[in-house]
Amino acid sequence: MSDINNLSRRQFLKQTGIVSGGLVLGASMPGWAPAWAATGSANALNLFVSIRTDNTVEIICHRSEMGQGIRTGLPQVLADELMADWSKIEVIQGLANEEYGSQNTDGSRSMRHFYSVMREMGASARAMLEQAAANNWGVASDQVEALDHQVVNKLNGQSLSFGQLARAASLLEAPKKQDLTFKSPADFKYIGKGLSSVDMSAFVTGNTTYGQDVQLPGMLYASIERAPVLGSKLVSVDDSECLKVKGVLKTIKMPDQTLPAVFKPLPGVAVIATNTWAAIQGRKKLKLDWDTGANKQHDSAAFHADMQKRIVSKGKVFRHAGDAYTAMESASERISAQYNVPYLVHAPMEPPAATAQFKDGMMEIWACTQTPQSTQNTVASILGLDKNKVKVHVTLLGGGFGRKSKPDFSVEAAYLAQQTGKPVKVCWTREDDIQNGYYHAISSQFFEAGMDESGKVTAWIQRTSFPSISWTFTSTTDEPSGGELGLGFGDVPVDVANLSCETHKATGHTRIGWLRSVCNIQHGFALGSFVDELASASKQDTQSMWLTLLGENKITNPNKQGYEYGNYGDPQETFPIDGERLKAVLNRVCKEANTAGPTVKNEAWGISVHRSFVSYCAVATKVRVENNKLTVLEMHLATDCGLAVNPDRVKSQMEGAMVFGLSLALMGEITYKEGAVVQSNYHDYPVLRMPQSPPMQVYILENDHPPGGVGEPGVPPVAASLTNAIYHACGKRIRDLPVNKVLTV
């Protein structure tokens, strides 16, 4: 549990800049950051709730809102425990501030790591308001109770509003953790309910502010021509034609970049203009000469071919049980397969966007960032500023998917504001986003299973190879990190006595970064596909094969098999790898979709199941394949994410995950020639459009488990469910993504 503190008004103003005349609470708890988050740390977390004398409850949301609904979800937890009136809640977006601890909004952890904290703050504030009311009436605290934004005297029915009690409550000490009382789940008013977004009115009236919407007086606009190959050095610049474009004011050379890339902006030349159009048109007339360095040799096709050649040989073992190789030799039947996934890019609908102003020694930034503190720290470090002189405002995000947790675009805006002495907005185009991003790593997986005469799997070998995210931070790493291996590979839940999990080396040649569900993308595809292949080889249905492989009441603990498993930053005692929960979502989706029912010629179902971010998801996909043309007919997803705080948001996230996963599986592919990205826009890096999106159904399993992740777990099982369906519809086994290399989509 967290530590609840009653903050003074001075402390509150210092940390938030928000005016409050009443009760202010802060909560501290341990945070968590993944191993590769080089600029983040597990600091103490401070969340704040302020009850004003005008009866408004202000809740600061320190997490970034990118469509997942966290600006609604976390406040509704606190409001429920507080017994507040939802119509009197005001949500304030927190600035970058280390007092909050980690503000890195990724890893599907906002709700699972802060649900308890918000309940504790609500319970603490409620207790203090009740005590203030009891003191006012001269009665015992158990003779009063908070109800509907007021405290009622049980003895005579008198009531005082939260606003009337706020000042008196602010003079009290916060209760000790052990003295807090919590509502019974049966009494929840908001938790578990589909409340609409707190930003809904702004959405429908066009009054929201996204990264591209920021406007400042006297603002200039910048478009940057960046290095085409990572590690490039600018040799010469000819901007003579650029400067002739109406509205172009000047050009500014961006700082040179040394590897490792980390979050440093790419080198290049910025065109500064009075409007976006002029900046972009002037940029087109720049003539730059680059020394593209060693990564010019990178060709993704050749690189992938080498990975595929090496993956069939034994790798470095990091998790094992029994003797997989001996058991494999004695197996009655051996099945093996290799699965390959290309580079991928985030391609959010809103490209990266940041505006900065440098005035009186203070750098102020407005950005669609997932990591305001990382933005603050990186800007301060690169520009030589005290981080307390860097103020970061978080706008709404038009999609994040992990791209906007890298603050390079904010550093660009800050650098140009410092150089010009004017507010500057950096405008990323779609081409910039696709060709100058951080990329999901290219990968190869190899699976082999030995089966006895009854079709039981007795030996299991799996290998993975991909450039590590860690390479972005070191430029020397050539092996996956332990954290990456725990994303759907080292935590494989199969109940097989003889098992060997292995890795192969692969170095980086571009900026590798986390993309929605990270390594679960390739690992979920490979595992889900291989189980389907085993089922076909042993003449079983895929659902039965999964149920057998998961064992009976099986709790998988990779730590007992030589692998130090991180479990997404959560204790395995609370969030174990539970085979029964995997079975439950699989059985539910198969039942709801009626996957065992009759189908017509050229149509079939495919299924897969996966655990990630301590949640469980199963997907069933139905397809038709005729004349080499693929049509996705319908998709069903069952999820066990523990307590669904806002079921509407859970459903929308799962629907979005299915669309996202389907888009990647069908069409996602980034390729490199001479070290540079070949693709440039949606014409050659297409994303799923509305007419291509099938009908979707989401089923949420209800239970009393604590909240798990929601934003990412729906993605990993999608690709395998799709390719399995294709196989059962037409006999084509697709082991290399994307699907559109084989079928018309």
Q: For 309-323, what is the HEC assignment? A: HHCCCCCEEEEEECC
Mode of pairing for the β-strands spanning 23-28 and 577-578 = unpaired
Q: Are 494 and 694 in contact (CB under 8 A)?
A: no
d(C-alpha 254, C-alpha 286), whole Å:
14
pLDDT at 101: 72
Q: Are 27 and 5 in contact (CB under 8 A)?
A: yes
Residue with tokens 């805006």: 413
Amino acid type, 457: V
Cα angle, residue 275 at apex, residues 269 and 279 outer, rounded to 5°: 25
CB atoms within 10 A of CB 525: 32
The model carries a pTM of: 0.93
Say which residues have a Cβ less than 8 Å from residue 171's Cβ, sequence separation at least 6.
Answer: none
d(C-alpha 251, C-alpha 319), whole Å:
54
Q: Are 61 and 396 in contact (CB under 8 A)?
A: no
Q: Are 44 and 30 in contact (CB under 8 A)?
A: yes
- Comparing C-alpha atoms, which of 442, 461, 481 is closest to residue 340? 442
Q: Are 328 and 450 in contact (CB under 8 A)?
A: yes
Amino acid type, 478: D
pLDDT at 65: 97
CATH number of 211-294+352-427: 3.30.365.10
d(C-alpha 712, C-alpha 650), whole Å:
11
Amino acid type, 633: L
- Comparing C-alpha atoms, which of 737, 709, 730, 679 is closest to residue 523? 737
Residue with tokens 């079939």: 604
Q: Are 166 and 172 in contact (CB under 8 A)?
A: no
Say which residues have a Cβ less than 8 Å from residue 393's Cβ, sequence separation at least 6.
Answer: 93, 95, 364, 365, 366, 367
CA 236 remoteness from chain centre: 39
As separate numbers, helices (DSSP H) first and strands (DSSP E) second, the chain gives 18, 30
DSSP per position, 601-669: TTEEEEEEEEEETTEEEEEEEEEEEETTEEEEEEEEEEEE-SS-SSHHHHHHHHHHHHHHHHHHHHH--
Q: Which residues of 630-642 are buried (b: 16+ CB within 10 A; e: fewer)?
A: bbbbebbbbbbbb
| Overall residue count recorded for the chain in this entry | 745
Domain layout of the chain by residue ranges: 3-205, 211-294+352-427, 300-345+438-741
**Residue 271 phi/psi, 5° resolution?**
-100, 120
pLDDT at 693: 97
d(C-alpha 724, C-alpha 739), whole Å:
12
Say which residues have a Cβ less than 8 Å from residue 388's Cβ, sequence separation at least 6.
Answer: none
Q: Which residues of 252-275 are buried (b: 16+ CB within 10 A; e: fewer)?
A: bebeebebbbbbbbbbbbbbbbee
Q: Are 238 and 271 in contact (CB under 8 A)?
A: no
Q: What's the CATH class of domain 300-345+438-741? A: alpha beta
Half-sphere exposure of 708 (CA within 13 A, CB side): 29
Helical residues (DSSP H) of 421-498, grouped into ranges = 430-435, 471-474, 482-485
Tokens representing 175 are 């209760």
pLDDT at 99: 82
Q: What's the CATH class of domain 3-205? A: alpha beta
Amino acid type, 564: E
d(C-alpha 242, C-alpha 2), whole Å:
57
pLDDT at 25: 64
Q: Are 741 and 628 in contact (CB under 8 A)?
A: no
pLDDT, averaged per 10 consecutive residues of the chain (745 residues), comes to: 49 45 56 28 46 92 95 97 97 90 90 92 94 98 97 98 94 90 97 96 94 98 99 98 99 97 98 99 99 98 98 98 98 98 98 98 98 97 97 98 98 99 98 99 99 96 99 96 97 98 98 98 99 97 98 96 96 97 99 96 99 99 98 99 98 98 99 99 97 97 97 99 99 99 97
Three-state secondary-structure class, residue 213 = helix
Indicate left, alpha or beta for 569 from its phi (over 0: left) and psi (-120 to 50: alpha).
left
Equal CATH topology for 3-205 and 211-294+352-427: yes
d(C-alpha 537, C-alpha 727), whole Å:
13
Residue with tokens 């158990």: 142
What are the angstrom distances between the C-alpha of 459 and each of 552, 665, 680?
18, 29, 44
pLDDT at 38: 27
Asked whether the CA dihedral 582, 587, 588, 594 is positive or negative, the reply is positive
Q: Which residues of 338-356 are buried (b: 16+ CB within 10 A; e: fewer)?
A: bbbbbbbbbbbebbbbbbb
**Residue 464: enclosing H or E segment and its boundaries?**
strand 457-465
pLDDT at 8: 46
Instruction: List 363's β-bridge partners, or say none.
Output: 358, 390
d(C-alpha 566, C-alpha 255), whole Å:
37
d(C-alpha 730, C-alpha 628), whole Å:
9
d(C-alpha 687, C-alpha 667), whole Å:
7
d(C-alpha 576, C-alpha 93), whole Å:
33
Say which residues have a Cβ less than 8 Å from residue 41's Cβ, sequence separation at least 6.
Answer: 31, 33, 102
